[in-house]
Amino acid sequence: MTEVSTETAGAQTESATVLVARQGVRGWFAAHPLLTHIIKRFALYILTLWAAISGTFLFFRLIPGNPIDAYTQNLAQNYVYNQKANHQIIAHYNQVFGLNGNLFTQYTHYLYQLVVNHDLGPSLINYPTPAWTLISNALPWTLGLLLVATIVAWVLGLLLGAATGWWRRNPVSGGLTYVGTAITHIPYYFVALLGVFYLGYTHSILPTSLAYDPGVVMGWNWHFMTSVVKHALLPACSIIFVSIFGHMLGMRFQMIMTLGEDYLNFAEAKGLRPNVIMRKYAMRNSFLPQVTALAISLGAVFNGNVLVENLFKYPGVGHLLVQAVGNLDYNVIMGVTDLGIFGVLTGAFLLDLIVPVIDPRIRRAR
Amino acid sequence: MSRYDSDSFDFEDFMRHTLSRRDALKMGGLAAGAGALLAACSSGGSVDPNAKNGGGGGGGGNAGGGGNNGVPEQAATIPTPRKQTLIVAQGTFASYGVYNPFIPNTDYATGFGQVVKEYPFYLNLTKSTDNLINWQFTGWEYNKDFTQITFHIDPNVKWSDGKPMTSADAKFTIELFQKHSSLVGATGNWVTEAKTIQTPDDHTLVIDLTKRDTRYHYDYICSVVNAAFLCVPQHVWDGQDPTTFKNPTAVFTGPYKLKEANRNLQYYLWEKSPDYWNKAKLDPKPQYVAYLTAPAADAAAEDFKNAKIDQGGADYAHAQAMIKNGYKKAVITSMEDPCLRSIHINCDPSKGILADHRMRWVISCLMDRETYAKSIWSPPTTPATYPWPGYPYMNVYEDQSVASQFPLTYNPQKAEQLLGEIGAKKGSDGKYTYQGKKLSFTIITPSANTGYEYLIGQTLAKEMTKIGIPTDIKALTGAGVYNGQVAKGDYDIRSEWGPCSTSDPYQTYSSNTSKFYVPIGKQATTGDQERLKDPKLDSLTAQLANADPTAPSSKPIFKAALQEWYTQMPVIPSIKTVYTHQANTTYWTGWPTDDNLYMVPNNWWGQFMFVVGALKPASGA
């Protein structure tokens, strides 16, 4: 009995300590709302990142066949009959590419390599070059092309959208809206094809492929820069041409919603000039969803624009992804998709942190 | 870091080419101009006319090559002088900077396998006699019982770095593969049958074989694409791990050596080797050979027409249209493929009626080969009669007395008669049953649904369905999917290619011997993916293995084997296949033509080296 009493007393003391500790953590959270917000968002970010990477891992493994079969098929289809793959080769490369064992074993191996060793593994399409080396070589081209195109399209689309929303009853605004609605449904690559045909082949105005001219020395020099810009014009224009109108329509919609708000009537009643009302009241309040759209678009840039890059033989991530998918190069495919996931989620996470800073309403609500 | 390796980014070199203040100002101007241009583009406006010639300003010579026979000036695709460069368009490249052909996915059709690597012997498939070309080696001889072979190496052979190629290099190569079984090609006879290797002098290689083999030398001949044996320089490869070695300097014995491989611009550029060892026999005129990734079909045709590509790029239809419209610089050359198009049957005993050889003949009788050859395949071709391609030197193995007993003709009545003989019964619904089960099959193909093999399979499926055996077709175009399914025996019928004999019919028969047989569900990677088990064919193939293929005494065995193969027919020959090769004569002439097919014109085969050697600069180019 005595012993039991002692145990009970000990347990009570322990639970009290835990309670105090809990109150302490809660108390700390309550005292630091901004940090709490960041920590919660970061935890959610990590969880989503893990879930998305795991999901894509499983998704790609559901594709029938495996990279080594693809390789042996490649040998056979290219008539390299006297280099038939044998069991030793298959076993060796299954080991090298982490394809041994069941799906769970492969998954844990992949996650361990990725998280602990920061290693995507070797690429199959350029074995034994690491997959990350291939991706990091392609990434600057994609970022250079798509980042600029995305930002330019966003800025122009925003301005056009604000203008068409503000002057919504103007026939030009109406016309632009109809044109924009039609153009947003045209795929990028169709515009790109038209560009290649007319500006590249018919009139020989712009180069039709690659990232810069052969013979140009790569570096921070005039010839290289002009060559890169010249080669990026057609692919960039084809993206910008369509994207502008998407952003324009979004911004126009927000502007029209905002124009019905009481505070605009109040500003007008105060005697503020129309352009001030437009810039400081209407535009600023319509701006927020567009920032969200930009952040997500910027994140998606990391995946590359597959069709446009392939049409222009642009040496970016999208071009690399197509090669990797064709050969079922899991390591490169996963590397590119992981990068895209990372880009979009990080963009969303940063947005979560930035939005309260740029929108006082959200800051106060929190 | 190697200067050859496009993956190696030299930061210091990059920074040497930095932007001056003047350039910075220019860049500012350019940015403003680009902004205006972007706006112009988005409204369909005009663009900078100065951007017309994409030759670029920085170094590299007169790459534009304009003013040539009325060819419009176009952006250059390579940095070297156009008139000195042979430009070949090929598929998409991936393995820039890796020149180790014994590991996965080293691109071989980049010029590397054509003008850099060389093989001991080459087979010219277009000639009926004297079609073996001694190159690195001057010959071979067997001992009396074919258990030892002696190769003679040309004393003049040198690597592109100037060092001589000797028998020690050849011995090193074979032993390298014996030590590393995971190298691609390590299961070849040239590796597994080499018991001991002696090098009595620098130019003699003596190999004792583990067993009698009358065809051991086949692996040393470049017949299709390449040869299994590729000698590597010991002084470069010694001490390297061949399973991961990139071989960045690409030292081999060919007439060209590596100048540049550019991942961003997607080309491989090879420069003529000034000290090439065999100039007396082969002294190519192009100073450079460039292999570049062809753009999409329409764009490639435009590039071809504008002489930005000398061979490849334009497909048959585009080239035909160009010629029809008066373009005079295109040459279309036809070349028979080493592989017939064919229908492969899963003959495993568990496959029911398909295991009966008569059912294979039912299917053969439903194959309308004339339609396949004239209406499906382009350019039109001819039906196959023998299970090997129709190269002139293969005629010696043809035997009309045997072939006439097994006519490969379209005959649905005969098919139905055979079905009756097998015991299949036609029901009131017009569908056949066999042993109480309704017959139905699926044909699989690796070809997309617009591909010729798909269309052949689809036509056959319709014929089978028409007589009462419902059959459908599936295109398994995903990477590795088709191969995985075939290797495991998970199919009824396949529409694809093969057999692909280029030396003697033994190659056809031996791949269907039961030593390669594995049950359905297990991987058959080295042969008999049709899962045929026929003791008679096994026995005849074993006799052929020991027979000298060139000896008259072997003829009766070849005849008996052909007879048995026709009887079993695990692979049903369909049509001979012809591919065309489009070349442009604006800069280079002397291409193989239909009238003068002096060499295999395929730009991804090792034999293409001889085509490059035969080209001459076009007059006025």
Contact A244, A153 (CB under 8 A): yes
pLDDT value, residue B348: 96
pLDDT value, residue B397: 93
Structure tokens at B1: 């870091």
The C-alpha atoms of residue B268 and residue B272 are separated, in whole angstroms, by 13
Which of A83, A126, A137 lies nearest to residue B95, judging by beta carbons? Answer: A126
Residue A96, classified by CB atoms within 10 Å of its CB into exposed (0-12), middle (13-18) or buried (19+), is buried
Measured between CA atoms, how close is B223 to chain A, in angstroms?
10
Measured between CA atoms, how close is A271 to chain B, in angstroms?
36
- Whether A274 has a pLDDT exceeding 50, the answer reads yes
Residues on chain A touching B447 (C-beta within 8 angstroms): none
CB contact under 8 A, A73 and B48: no
Structure tokens at B149: 């072979």
Q: What is the pTM of this model?
A: 0.83
Residues on chain A touching B267 (C-beta within 8 angstroms): 214
Give tens-digit pLDDT for B547-565. Answer: 999 899 999 999 999 999 9
Q: Which of A103-117, B28-42, B363-377 has the highest mean pLDDT?
A: B363-377
pLDDT value, residue B63: 35
The C-alpha atoms of residue A189 and residue B376 are separated, in whole angstroms, by 31
Structure tokens at B370: 């004339």
The C-alpha atoms of residue B449 and residue B300 are separated, in whole angstroms, by 23
CB contact under 8 A, B479 and A82: no
Positive or negative torsion for Cα B90, B92, B98, B103: negative
CB contact under 8 A, A86 and B187: yes
- Whether A353 has a pLDDT exceeding 80, the answer reads yes
Contact B186, A88 (CB under 8 A): yes
The band of B598, judged by pLDDT with boundaries at 50, 70 and 90, is very high
Residues on chain B touching A233 (C-beta within 8 angstroms): 34, 37-38, 41, 47
- Whether B353 has a pLDDT exceeding 70, the answer reads yes
Strand B571-575 versus strand B578-584 pairing type: unpaired
CB contact under 8 A, A69 and B484: yes
The C-alpha atoms of residue A337 and residue A299 are separated, in whole angstroms, by 11
Q: According to the 3-state scheme, what is the secondary structure of B274-288? A: CCCCCCCCCCCCCCE
Closest CA to B211 of B436, B535, B542: B542
pLDDT value, residue B282: 97
Of A295 and A334, the structure prediction assigns the larger pLDDT to A334
What integer is the mean pLDDT of B138-152? 97
Closest CA to B34 of A144, A200, A229: A229
Residues on chain B touching A234 (C-beta within 8 angstroms): 41
CB contact under 8 A, A67 and B479: yes
DSSP characters for B336-374? E-SS-EEEEE---GGGGGGGSHHHHHHHHHT--HHHIII
DSSP characters for B316-343? HHHHHHHHHTT--SEEEEEEE-SS-EEE
Please identify which residue in the block is written with the tokens 């990725």. A114
CB contact under 8 A, B23 and A221: yes
CB contact under 8 A, B59 and A215: yes
The residue of A63, A145, A148, A209 whose CB has the most chain B CBs within 10 angstroms, and thus the best one to mutate to test that interface, is A209
- Whether B59 has a pLDDT exceeding 50, the answer reads no
Nearest chain B residue to A222 by CA: give it: B23
Positive or negative torsion for Cα A98, A104, A105, A110: positive
pLDDT value, residue B287: 97
Residues on chain A touching B79 (C-beta within 8 angstroms): 214-215
Residues on chain A touching B243 (C-beta within 8 angstroms): 92
Nearest chain B residue to A91 by CA: give it: B182
CB contact under 8 A, A215 and B61: yes
The C-alpha atoms of residue B478 and residue B455 are separated, in whole angstroms, by 18
CB contact under 8 A, B480 and A66: yes
Strand partners of residue B579: B335
The residue of B265, B269, B335, B503 whose CB has the most chain A CBs within 10 angstroms, and thus the best one to mutate to test that interface, is B265
Give tens-digit pLDDT for B189-234. Answer: 899 999 999 999 999 999 999 999 999 999 999 998 899 999 999 9
pLDDT value, residue A74: 64
Give tens-digit pLDDT for A172-225. Answer: 999 999 999 999 998 888 899 899 888 988 888 898 888 999 888 888 899 999
CB pairs under 8 A between A and B: 279
Give tens-digit pLDDT for B377-430. Answer: 999 999 999 999 999 999 999 999 999 999 999 999 999 999 999 999 999 999
Residues on chain A touching B109 (C-beta within 8 angstroms): 78
The C-alpha atoms of residue B256 and residue B289 are separated, in whole angstroms, by 8
DSSP characters for A3-54? HHHHHHHHHHHHHHHHHHHHHHHHHHHHH-HHHHHHHHHHHHHHHHHHHHHH
pLDDT value, residue B268: 95
Q: Which range, of A60-69, A223-232, B280-289, B357-366, averages the lowest pLDDT?
A: A60-69
Element (H, E) at B571: strand B571-575
Closest CA to B512 of B496, B495, B500: B500
Phi first, then psi, for residue B161 (nearest 5°) are -95, 10
Measured between CA atoms, how close is B424 to chain A, in angstroms?
35
Question: How far out from the chain centre does Cα B569 lie?
Answer: 25
Structure tokens at A47: 């969880």
- Whether B89 has a pLDDT exceeding 80, the answer reads yes
pLDDT value, residue B416: 96
Closest CA to B290 of B261, B321, B319, B313: B261
Give the DSSP letter of residue A312: T
pLDDT value, residue A12: 56
Q: What is the largest CA-CA distance in chain B?
A: 90
What integer is the mean pLDDT of B526-538? 91
pLDDT value, residue B22: 52
Which of A129, A207, A214 lies nearest to residue B79, judging by beta carbons? Answer: A214
What integer is the mean pLDDT of B69-94? 76
Which of A65, A205, A209 lies nearest to residue B52, judging by beta carbons? Answer: A205
Strand partners of residue B288: B85, B271
Please identify which residue in the block is written with the tokens 């290219």. A78
The band of A121, judged by pLDDT with boundaries at 50, 70 and 90, is very high
pLDDT value, residue A23: 66
Judged by phi (left if over 0) then psi (alpha if -120 to 50, else beta), residue B423 lies in left
Outline where DSSP puts E strands in B385-486: 425-426, 432-434, 437-438, 441-445, 471-475
Outline where DSSP puts E strands in B391-456: 425-426, 432-434, 437-438, 441-445
Measured between CA atoms, how close is B314 to chain A, in angstroms?
15
Which of B17, B73, B523 lies nearest to residue A221, judging by beta carbons? Answer: B17
CB contact under 8 A, A126 and B302: no
Which of A79, A219, A241 lies nearest to residue B14, judging by beta carbons? Answer: A219
pLDDT above 70 covers what percent of chain A? 87
HSE (side-chain half, CA atoms, 13 Å) at A161: 30
- Whether A244 has a pLDDT exceeding 90, the answer reads yes
Beta-carbon contacts of B260 under 8 Å, excluding residues fewer than 6 positions away, are B4, B6, B79, B267, B268, B269
DSSP characters for B69-133? TTBPP---SSSS-GGGEEEEEES----TT---TTSTT--STTTIIIII---SEEE-TT-SSS-EE
Of B471 and A9, the structure prediction assigns the larger pLDDT to B471
The C-alpha atoms of residue B402 and residue A230 are separated, in whole angstroms, by 66
3-state secondary structure of B444: strand
pLDDT value, residue B34: 45
What integer is the mean pLDDT of A7-15? 55
Give tens-digit pLDDT for B295-326. Answer: 888 888 988 998 999 999 899 999 999 999 99
The C-alpha atoms of residue B360 and residue B566 are separated, in whole angstroms, by 10
pLDDT value, residue B458: 97
The C-alpha atoms of residue A332 and residue A320 are separated, in whole angstroms, by 8
Which of B59, B73, B339 lies nearest to residue A217, judging by beta carbons? Answer: B59
Contact B581, B603 (CB under 8 A): yes
pLDDT value, residue B523: 80
Measured between CA atoms, how close is B520 to chain A, in angstroms?
17
Phi first, then psi, for residue B379 (nearest 5°) are -70, 160
Measured between CA atoms, how close is B443 to chain A, in angstroms?
18
Which of A82, A124, A206 lies nearest to residue B104, judging by beta carbons? Answer: A124
Cα-trace Rg, chain A: 28
Which of A85, A156, A217 lies nearest to residue B17, judging by beta carbons? Answer: A217
The band of A16, judged by pLDDT with boundaries at 50, 70 and 90, is low
Closest CA to A231 of A309, A147, A296: A309
- Whether A76 has a pLDDT exceeding 80, the answer reads no
Closest CA to B137 of B90, B94, B185, B169: B169
Measured between CA atoms, how close is A172 to chain B, in angstroms?
15
End-to-end CA separation in angstroms for chain B: 39
The C-alpha atoms of residue A140 and residue A134 are separated, in whole angstroms, by 11
Residues on chain B touching A323 (C-beta within 8 angstroms): 92, 94
The residue of B6, B14, B37, B41 whose CB has the most chain A CBs within 10 angstroms, and thus the best one to mutate to test that interface, is B41
Which of B30, B58, B97 lies nearest to residue A217, judging by beta carbons? Answer: B58
Of A232 and A74, the structure prediction assigns the larger pLDDT to A232
Measured between CA atoms, how close is B568 to chain A, in angstroms?
23
Q: Which of A183-187, A350-354, B480-484 has the highest mean pLDDT?
A: A183-187
Q: How many CB atoms sit inside 10 A of residue A28's CB? A: 11
- Whether B457 has a pLDDT exceeding 90, the answer reads yes
Listing from the earlier edge strand, what are the strands of the sheet with B137-142? B137-142, B148-153, B204-209, B194-201
pLDDT value, residue B10: 43
Residues on chain A touching B106 (C-beta within 8 angstroms): 127
Positive or negative torsion for Cα A8, A14, A18, A24: positive
Which of A89, A215, A229 lies nearest to residue B30, judging by beta carbons? Answer: A229
CB contact under 8 A, A214 and B604: no
Element (H, E) at B459: helix B452-467
Structure tokens at A76: 């056979």
CB contact under 8 A, B58 and A124: no
pLDDT value, residue A365: 56
Structure tokens at B551: 């000896």
Strand B194-201 versus strand B148-153 pairing type: unpaired
The residue of B7, B184, B604 whose CB has the most chain A CBs within 10 angstroms, and thus the best one to mutate to test that interface, is B184
Nearest chain B residue to A142 by CA: give it: B264
The C-alpha atoms of residue B155 and residue B204 are separated, in whole angstroms, by 10
The C-alpha atoms of residue A164 and residue A158 are separated, in whole angstroms, by 10
pLDDT value, residue B211: 95
Measured between CA atoms, how close is A133 to chain B, in angstroms?
8
Give the DSSP letter of residue A196: I
Contact B82, B64 (CB under 8 A): yes
What integer is the mean pLDDT of A122-149? 92
The C-alpha atoms of residue B94 and residue A235 are separated, in whole angstroms, by 22
Distances (CA, A) of B515 to B485, B509, B512, B529, B535: 20, 12, 8, 12, 10
The residue of A69, A317, A327 whose CB has the most chain B CBs within 10 angstroms, and thus the best one to mutate to test that interface, is A69
